[in-house]
Amino acid sequence: MSDAPSRMLRVDLSAERVVSETVPPSWRRRYLGGKGLGARYLYDELAPGTDPLGPGNALLFVLGPLTGALPGEQRYAAVTKSPLTGAFLDSYAGGTFPARLAGSLDDHLGVLVTGRAEAPVRLVVGDGDARVEPAETWGADAVETARQFPDASVACIGPAGENRVTFATIASDEAEHHAGRGGAGAVMGAKRLKAVVASGDPPAVPESVAALRDRDTGRFTESHTGRWLAASGTLETVDFADETGVLAARGWQERGFDGADDVGIDAAREAATGREHDGPVPGGFRVETAAGETVPRGATGMSLGAGLGIDEFDAVAELGEWCNRLGLDLIDGGNAVAWAARAVEAGLLDRDLSFGDPDGARALLGEIATRESRVGDALADGVAVAARRFGGEAFVPSVKEMSLPAYDPRGAASMALAYATSDRGGCHRRARPVEREVFDGPWDPDRAAEAVVAAQDARALRWSLVADDFAGEAVDVPAWLAAVGAPHGDLPRTGERVWTLVRLFNAREGFDRCDDSLPAVFAGDGGVDPSRFDAMLDAYYATRGWSEAGLPTRETLVRLGLDDVVDAATPVGDPGP
């Protein structure tokens, strides 16, 4: 790793052609890798209005300049235009696949896939090259597909991706890890790409970089976040959200869940057979299900447990493993079932389904993944689409067509701002101010805006390095980039530049202030006051240097070095008075 990767593998599935090309040095310096580099490629490659499920869409598997060496779990970014939202999409997954992909790519930062194969294929990567082969595993679930390649690491789709479910995931490590939300798996399915097989070994880590890793791993394990993760993993978020009054339950009808203890961290510890892996950051808790071993995450207990009113840990873990094998996003899958249960209660649907019913949930999730029923087919296009078709628009909130995770912003209004301004739709991972506002809120609009902007920029930088969400907090970024010889510019400004570039992409697709909206369900009694939300949004745009319509101004583009990037098809904001 003495020389940072500097090339990209371009794969045209229509022509079955693979080409290695140099990444422009200025792109590497200004966007690093991961989210940033993926955003630069997507903005450059796609024409406005490109069909996300058409051959013109691009799908990138992007690493960072530090992949294979960083503390914590290695990660990769899947970057594309979302079939769920029509906006920019970056999703991340860990496990063994990112490091094996890095070892397979040699001096490449990633793989850019375009076109559409005539028949199902897989992409086998090794020795700095790739080849397109027929995929005999089309129709298999994500676990079965991965097990066809015992000597390699695999990122693949299950039935949901094959059937272009708009919230299908890309699964890796026998479906223990997923690039979720937004439907990157559906893009793979539309391209008839079943799997990416990384056949190489992880890259060797030079002694100088290994010393940095040991130092920063020690910093992380001694930090509050490191101790929390080692003790509890993300499943503790179920207990946190319930105790602070922000856990959405039973299809967003309640805040707080009486069965939280039964699906949270204590239940996981009792059921666990061990931890996900050895080392200072041991990962989640392994539990056995009838279908095999699984690793439930926080979203499992929140969306498939509290969200569906199911208070049996084993049943929730089983549903999580079912989603994993199908290649379905846990959050959108749970919200889809929750919407259907509410629609049954309201008389909009006639089927055997209710809250607290794991068997009914499992059956519907299967129908969604295969599109084999009228309701399943509608929900496969997203909860918002199903609601427009059957009614019940207020049952499950969404932003930019992406249904929300189970952090209820009625308990912390800054979370409504985080959801509304998330670049890929209603997502809690871009900023999670709820974790602080519940203790010292309510915040005024300026403080909410500053907290959300700071978190979004910090994560945009971290995801351009493709660092572990948690261990990445302890990384001395300039020292690492210098150690691997990676070019970089003004790092504090890099995250803001990347976030703004994604906003330009979304603006070119027609997104503006109207899409940074507060779902109506949150504006009622006891909810987020609409005038307060508008004040937070105004403060957010002002903090970012965007216009009142939510468009970056020319002055901001010049400051961030994006004035030579923006094209004539992209609207730019009026600086105002």
Same domain, 360 and 422: no
As beta bridge partners, residue 179 has 170
Whether the predicted pLDDT of 561 surpasses 90: yes
- Per-residue pLDDT of 337-357, as tens digits, reads 999 999 999 999 999 999 999
pLDDT per position as a tens digit, 470-506: 888 888 888 888 887 888 888 889 999 999 999 999 9
| Residue 7: φ, ψ to 5° | -130, 170
**Which DSSP letter does residue 297 get?**
-
In a domain, 207, yes or no: no
Residues across the chain: 577
Residue with tokens 């912003």: 409
Written as six digits, the tokens of 565 are: 């990037």
Domain containing 490 — which CATH number?
1.10.599.10
pLDDT (0 to 100) of residue 363: 98
Tokens of 189: 């399915």
Cβ atoms of 93 and 75 closer than 8 Å: yes
> Is the model's pLDDT at 243 over the cut of 60?
yes
Residue 208 domain-assigned?
Answer: no
pLDDT one-digit tens code per residue, 50-84: 999 999 999 999 999 888 888 888 999 999 999 99
| Residue 379 shares a structural domain with residue 420 | no
CA distances from 305 to 178, 233, 280, 317 (A): 19, 17, 29, 9
- What percentage of the chain carries pLDDT values higher than 70? 99
Confidence at residue 577, expressed as pLDDT on a 0 to 100 scale? 57
Q: Is the same domain home to 230 and 193?
A: no
Q: Residue for token digits 């019940």?
A: 392
Out of 403, 429, 456, a domain closes at 403
Instruction: Provide the pLDDT for residue 184.
Output: 98
Q: Residue 576: pLDDT band by 50, 70, 90 thresholds? A: low
Is residue 112 in some structural domain? yes
| Statement to judge: residues 136 and 24 lie in one domain | yes
At residue 189, does pLDDT exceed 80? yes
Per-residue pLDDT of 82-97, as tens digits, reads: 999 999 999 999 999 9
The pLDDT value given to residue 535:
97
CA–CA separation, 413 and 62 (whole Å): 34
Same domain for 396 and 274: yes
Provide the strand spans (E) within 135-202: 153-156, 170-172, 177-179, 193-198
Q: Determine the structural domain holding residue 40 and report its residue range.
A: 7-198
Q: Within 10 A of 487 (CB to CB), how many other CB atoms are there?
A: 15
Task: Give the number of domains in the chain.
Answer: 3
pLDDT at 40: 98
Q: Residue 301 falls within a domain, yes or no?
A: yes
Q: Please choose, from the candidates 284, 55, 311, the residue with its C-alpha nearest in 3D space to the C-alpha of residue 173.
A: 284
Q: How many CB atoms lie within 10 A of CB 59?
A: 26
Enter the tokens of residue 17.
């052609």
Residue 575, in any domain of the structure: no
Residues 156, 30 within the same domain: yes
Has residue 573 been placed in a domain?
A: no
The residues, any chain, with a CB within 8 Å of residue 119's CB and separated by 6 or more, are: 134, 192
Torsion of CA 91, 95, 96, 100, to 10 degrees: 20
Kindly report the CATH number assigned to the domain that includes residue 12.
Answer: 3.60.9.10
Residues 248 and 141 in one domain: no
**116 and 22 in one domain?**
yes
One domain, residues 418 and 397: no
Instruction: Look up residue 242 and give its amino acid.
Output: D
Q: How many CB atoms sit inside 10 A of residue 206's CB?
A: 14
- For the segment 159-179, the average pLDDT, to the nearest whole number, is 97
pLDDT at 520 over 60: yes
What span, in angstroms and rounded, lies between the C-alpha atoms of 543 and 446? 8
- What are the start-end ranges of the E strands in 342-490? 398-399, 402-403
Residue 131: inside a domain, yes or no?
yes
Cα–Cα distance between 101 and 113 in angstroms, integer?
A: 15
Looking at 403, 433, 458, which one is the last position of a domain? 403
Residue 257: how many other CB atoms lie within 10 Å? 26
pLDDT for 289-331, tens place per residue? Answer: 888 889 999 999 999 999 999 999 999 999 999 999 999 999 9
What are the DSSP calls for 64-113, one per residue? Answer: -TTTTTSSS---EEEEEE-TTTSSEEEEEE-SSHHHHHHHHHTTEEEEEE
- Final residue belonging to a domain, choices 387, 403, 419: 403
Whether 551 and 475 map to the same domain: the answer is yes
CA 93, CA 347: separation in Å to the nearest integer? 39
Q: Residue 2: its pLDDT value, please?
A: 45
Nearest-angstrom CA–CA distance, 372 and 397: 25
| Element (DSSP H or E) covering residue 312 | none
Is residue 570, in this structure, part of any structural domain at all? no
For 199-212, what is each residue's pLDDT tens digit? 999 998 878 788 88
Residues 374 and 483 in one domain: no
Based on the domain organization, do 172 and 36 belong to the same domain?
Answer: yes
Burial of 172 (0-12, 13-18, 19+ CB in 10 A): buried
- Of 3, 483, 1, 475, the C-alpha closest to 206 is 1
Query: pLDDT at position 377, please?
Result: 98
